[in-house]
Structure 1
């Protein structure tokens, strides 16, 4: 591997860059929108480029920290360049057209995509359970009302005056991922690890009594059943960004660059 790159320079990107530097594997370059090079350079302290070819010249392993838009804009081009792309934007893969484009690009250029676990755990157990067969998987995501600001939840609920926990979405993981591009990457991660976007049940809840984001996964199958819940903290620099999601991206790089790690 020669060089590590990052797409984006927000709170998660800054966390990833700092953690990798401390681990002895600093990033080499950052990809930013045209006109934002100076801001990206100042945020991460590395060379800033504006397209996939420029990033591929500096890095063969790229961490996507720019959300669905970043993966949609640059993922295929990076895969065609032969890069390995670690992404947190799993919800974007609910778009069949984008998924097909990414797969084709990987076949053409020899690139690979690695899916970071993001803000949820137990995906290893869920994935293993698919070998014997899963009969039911359900994901429930609960956030304080402010965590749903700017999402379709605002069309269903008055988040500012909510007095009790209230569901604002019930449906499939595909519907959740496409409707909530900034809020449903965990639902997508559960779907990809288990029985797919259309068979995975999802419920999203706004709860004024909580201060953390809570993610719950329930699964049943030939293995038995499990019920996993995690209450996650946000990054100090951005209350809408999961600390564990940023940590999972760092771990995905670490497992790629060391000879033995879980």
Structure 2
């Protein structure tokens, strides 16, 4: 299978390397500006879906919400399958509907990657019965919230030792307010009760050495609690290693004859 990547950051770099090591070809990257080629370059850099090589059959979005907004609909309408890490962008009903219609028109499929969280298979199964409550708690060191709406609530550089909750609300509100930080909340919402019924709590915690994600769910199936402490990619402390790995795993699952 030949892939293309949307994005040029640390996650995109990891995904390209991992796909290559696993025997796949990455023919192109969709980037904002494509420099003039200086000899053979692989993958080739392009600025639009229309310029992708004909060999590409699956595109992986590693560029955040703007990348999905700019290119997602064109990818799907062109008949190419799309894996995305930008799940928070799907909190916008207009975008979600446009992507669905584009996939129908192109006879293609959109695969949301689980990102930095796990246990979504259990949550998806639980919603087949009565699912009463789903809560997601995201806990990061103060520096992990730099550049986000948390700065309007907290002085992140001058926090004491105690953790502080800076957001409580729905997954939809979290995705809108924290577009660079709420993809995990969106993944939990899509797997379970949806954006408006999933409750989210975001915490700045000076004692946290890693980004910590927790899900609690209760319903007809019983109750479960899941917690994961994630490391970042070496090339970018803001990028989750598991999120990058999940993009590769999701794209490979889309190709598999036996899907787990």
TM-score by length of 1: 0.95
Q: Secondary structure at the match of 1:28?
A: strand
Is the partner of 1:120 in helix, strand or coil? Answer: coil
- Measured in 1, the distance between the counterparts of 2:211 and 2:23 equals 31
Give the deviation of 1:259 after TM superposition: 3.4
The reply to whether residue 82 of structure 1 matches residue 93 of structure 2 is: no
Q: Is the 8 A contact 1:172 1:201 kept in 2?
A: yes
Would you say 1:92 and 2:100 are equivalent positions? Answer: no
Size of the aligned set, in residue pairs, is: 258
In the other structure, the counterpart of 1:245 is 243
Secondary structure at the counterpart of residue 181 of structure 1: coil
Corresponding position of 2:5: 6
Alignment of 1:113-192 (within 5 A): 113-163=110-160, 164-192=162-190
Tell me, in whole angstroms, the C-alpha distance in 1 between the residues paired with 2:106 and 2:98.
Answer: 12
Superposition TM-score, scaled by structure 2 size: 0.95
Tell me the alpha carbon deviations over residues 51-95 of structure 1, each in whole angstroms, 9 at most, x when there is no partner: 011226341100000000000000001111011000000000000
User: Does structure 1 retain, via aligned residues, the 8 Å contact 2:134–2:192?
Assistant: yes
What's 1:108 paired with?
105
Alpha-carbon distance change, 122 to 18 in structure 1, aligned in 2, over 3 angstroms: same
Can you list the C-alpha shifts for 1:115-149, whole angstroms capped at 9, x where unaligned?
Answer: 11100000000000000120000000000001001
Query: Is the Cα–Cα contact under 8 Å of residues 56 and 81 in structure 1 kept in the other structure?
Result: no
Gap runs ≥5 in structure 2? none
Structure 1: runs of 5+ lacking an equivalent: none
| Alignment RMSD | 1.6
Are 1:196 and 2:201 matched, yes or no? no
* 2:219 alignment counterpart: 221
User: When you count helix as a share of all residues, which structure comes out higher?
Assistant: 1
SS at match of 2:257: coil
Return closer, same or farther for 1:100/1:261 CA change in 2, 3 Å cut-off.
closer
* Post-superposition offset of 1:261: 5.3
Moved more, 12-21 or 2-11: 2-11
**The residue matched to 1:132 in structure 2 has which SS?**
coil
Runs of 4+ displaced beyond 2 Å: 34-39, 55-58, 256-262
